[in-house]
Amino acid sequence: MTWRNALAGALAPAGGLTRLLSRPLGQNLLTLVALGLMIIVIAAPLDLEQQMLFTAACMAAALLLRRRANRLAILAMIVMSVIASLRYMYWRVTSSLGFENLLDMLFGYGLVLAELYALLVLLLGYLQTAWPLQRRPYPLPRDTALWPTVDVYIPTYNEPLEIIKLTAFAAQAIDWPKDKLNVYVLDDGRREEFRDFCAEAGIGYIIRPDNFHAKAGNLNHALKLTHGDYIAIFDADHVPTRSFLQVGMGWFLRDPKLAMLQTPHFFFSPDPFEKNLDTFRSVPNEGELFYGLVQDGNDLWNATFFCGSCAIIKRGPLEEVGGIAVETVTEDAHTALKLNRLGYNTAYLALPQAAGLATESLSGHIGQRIRWARGMAQIFRTDNPLLGKGLKLGQRLCYLNAMLHFFYGLPRLVFLTAPLAYLFFGAQIFQAEALLILAYALPHILIASVTNSTIQGRFRHSFWNEVYEAVLAWYIMRPVLLAMVNPKLGKFNVTAKGGVIDKSYFDWKMARPYIVVLALNVLGVLAGLWKLGFDPEVSVATVLINLTWTFYNIVISAASVAVAAEARQIRAEPRVYAELPATLSLANGKTIVCRTNDFSQRGIGIALPEGAHVERGEQLLVSLFRDNEECVFPAVVMFSRDGVLGLNFLELNLEQQRELTRMTFSRADTWAATWGQGAVDTPLGALAEVSSIGWRGLRLLSRATFVELRTRLRIPSLHLRSTPRNP
């Protein structure tokens, strides 16, 4: 499906236009006319008053279209945003680059290059997200004899056994004919307790003599030893629902050329941003935009990325491309690229059918993103999607945007420091009047912000992208640049999951770059105020524009600092919030009908009905229900207050652990009911939210600095008192 087909569908009520668009000549004519009009609008010379009127008209139209927010309105907003952005960039390169000295040239061209990068990513992003395919499950044949055989792979290296147990039990519980479902734990750690567990649980256990090519090598080794028609892959911490295969497998039977189907990565624990900023389930996390919208948009262009887990792959095509790619550290995306190059289709189903653990610490999160960034740069360098055979234009551009995304490190740092060039050194990075800069820049910035908010509102709130990128910019910049020079540099690193953080602390090492950027911008504000007060030759409007930009950078960098304040996390198995029917059977024979508040592998939270009470320390039986099925688990009350119980399960045998997983984590509706259901973005509300977090970051930094200074000042005196005197 092309954009022209999509547009024709949107305009279906206009019958004559639809018939015209259905013909190649009409499509080409429409394209030429549209491009001609766009060029005229982009290049039209306007004076200051005319440009301000143009800005006001565009903003008014964008706000009116935002209220409709249907597909046709979104396409119109995208067109307006593209015109406003290209018009700004045309003016920028033709009218604002007359630099008079080396300093202006250095800072000015640096900013222009960063702006060109941002514009390219913006345009490619619109291509990806303008028309999400919104694929729905395709029904399987009623005759289960026609259903194919599936091998479930669970690769592991250093994850604890308790994490593997949960995933393995859930994989066994998948609703699929048992003679056509085989579950395998692929243990690159070669641990005896894993072997024993698999033998007891009836799960296949596969090891290999080496660890070559890390996860990719582990999967490829298993590929040689198993024989299922399809392979479902789950990371060690990703727990599938019972409906996983029934929801996703139908598309393979409908499309013989389909080689891979990906489902979202959903996390039932908060990532470091959500945990440290206390935004879990209230603000979409960093990955939700990709899985909620970008992948759905990629699906329109047949360019869905394989993401390493929560996916189904057809064995034949996978073997045809030589198995999982081993040339880069992002073996998953590279594998999808290889499949697409051979003419196979890839698909995305935007329905969470598995959930896992997010990274616990900021350092672990950054390490994971470094690997992703390095791997995408390696693919860009060694298997560039713009080059080579087998890909259509839409596929090439989708892959290109995914790889260019991780080059944001240097441009983001440029944007965070650009106004300092003028405030510190007087560098004129714009050779134009201040009001004229505003007249051209504002529609570019504001219309793009409103358009992206309308498109992404469920999965990304405004201004949060700047926070995510600011935190990661310094750390991914070097690996990306090195990978472009030498793609063989770097190795696959396993992201640690399932750990705990015993106490809260401020991660000075991770925060150091943000603190430097924050300090520079604070100094920039002081320099700007000095210019306003004591430099009569400066342009007040120019200083105010740069000060406004600097204040915004302070908000973003201060919010980045707040992320480095690691919050305590004492649960290795996070609780999942869910209201499920339950019954408590007490030792005295009394029965209490109630509901759950949350659950984990080790315990469950219960909301008692009014008037009911259970004493702390009492042993009881808790029953969980699914349809007409009941499963009973022994437990002890660890907490009892205000009608809320905290229960810990007593020692459960293997079958009880399996049933507990099936009744909780494996429920088909466990994750889908909450995904993408948070508050929709409002730009002003998001700005207030990020500003509040920035203020919090300043307070946390002040407190951490005070504690650090107090600790350092105490060390010498304590040392002197503890040192024995010489006789």
162, 573 Cβ separation under 8 angstroms: yes
Whether residue 445 has pLDDT greater than 60 = yes
> Torsions phi, psi of 24, nearest 5?
-55, -40
Q: Which among 594, 614, 618 has a CA at the least distance from the CA of 606?
A: 594
Q: What is the C-alpha to C-alpha distance for residues 110 and 23, in angstroms, rounded to an integer?
A: 45
Tokens 């590279």 correspond to: 334
* Cα→Cα distances 659→166, 398, 423, 433, 654, Å: 11, 42, 65, 70, 9
* Cα→Cα distances 255→138, 259, 344, 663, Å: 11, 9, 10, 33
The single residue of 332, 383, 507, 598 carrying the catalytic annotation is 332
Least reliable range by pLDDT among 298-307, 450-459, 571-580: 571-580
Encoded tokens for 693: 């977090």
Give the relative orientation of helices 48-68 and 434-456 as an angle to the nearest 10 degrees. 10
If 0-12 CB within 10 Å is exposed, 13-18 middle and 19+ buried, where does residue 583 land? middle
The arithmetic mean of pLDDT across residues 539-550, rounded, is 94
Whether residue 22 has pLDDT greater than 80 = no
| pLDDT for res 677 | 75
| pLDDT for res 36 | 84
The single residue of 187, 188, 235, 237 carrying the catalytic annotation is 188
Q: Order the strands of the 239-240 sheet from edge to edge.
A: 239-240, 354-356, 266-267
| pLDDT for res 174 | 96
Encoded tokens for 226: 């198993």
Q: Which among 445, 378, 675, 420 has a CA at the least distance from the CA of 551?
A: 420
Query: Active-site residue 332, yes or no?
Result: yes
> Torsions phi, psi of 513, nearest 5?
-60, -40
pLDDT digits (tens, 9 = 90+) for 515-528: 999 999 999 999 99
Whether residue 321 has pLDDT greater than 80 = yes
Q: Which among 61, 712, 139 has a CA at the least distance from the CA of 447?
A: 61
Cα angle, residue 672 at apex, residues 666 and 678 outer, rounded to 5°: 135
Q: What is the C-alpha to C-alpha distance for residues 32 and 610, in angstroms, rounded to an integer?
A: 70
From first CA to last CA, the distance across the chain in angstroms is 89
Q: What is the three-state SS of 564-621?
A: CEECCECCCCCCEECCCEEEEECCCCCEEEEEEEEECCCEEEEECCCCCCCCCCCEEE
pLDDT digits (tens, 9 = 90+) for 134-176: 999 999 999 999 999 999 999 999 899 999 999 999 999 999 9
Band of the pLDDT at 388, cuts 50, 70, 90?
confident
Q: What is the C-alpha to C-alpha distance for residues 528 and 542, in angstroms, rounded to an integer?
A: 10
248 Cβ neighbours under 8 A, 6+ residues apart: 137, 261, 263, 312, 349, 353
Give 390-441 as a DSSP string: S--HHHHHHHHHHHHHTT-HHHHHHHHHTTHHHHHH---SS-S-HHHHHHHH
Neighbours of 714 (CB within 10 A): 10
| pLDDT for res 720 | 40
- Per DSSP, helices labelled H in 457-539 are 464-485, 508-534
Query: Active-site residue 229, yes or no?
Result: no
Secondary structure letter of residue 70 according to DSSP = S
Band of the pLDDT at 670, cuts 50, 70, 90?
confident
Q: Which helix (H) or strand (E) holds 727?
A: none
Tokens 């930009």 correspond to: 549
* Cα→Cα distances 448→52, 86, 251, 455, 456, Å: 17, 11, 35, 10, 12
| pLDDT for res 717 | 45
pTM of the model: 0.90
The arithmetic mean of pLDDT across residues 242-264, rounded, is 96
The letter for the amino acid at 145 is: A
Least reliable range by pLDDT among 359-363, 569-573, 577-581: 569-573
Encoded tokens for 574: 């996070």
Q: β-strand 258-262 against 150-156: which pairing, if any?
A: unpaired
Tokens 């306007």 correspond to: 46
484, 705 Cβ separation under 8 angstroms: no
Q: What percentage of the chain carries pLDDT values higher than 90?
A: 75
| DSSP-based helix, strand, coil % in the chain, nearest 5 | 55, 15, 35
Q: What is the C-alpha to C-alpha distance for residues 468 and 55, in angstroms, rounded to an integer?
A: 29
User: Mean pLDDT score of the chain, rounded to an integer?
Assistant: 90
pLDDT digits (tens, 9 = 90+) for 265-313: 999 889 999 999 999 888 999 999 999 999 999 999 999 999 999 999 9
The arithmetic mean of pLDDT across residues 472-489, rounded, is 90
Position with higher pLDDT, 717 vs 529: 529
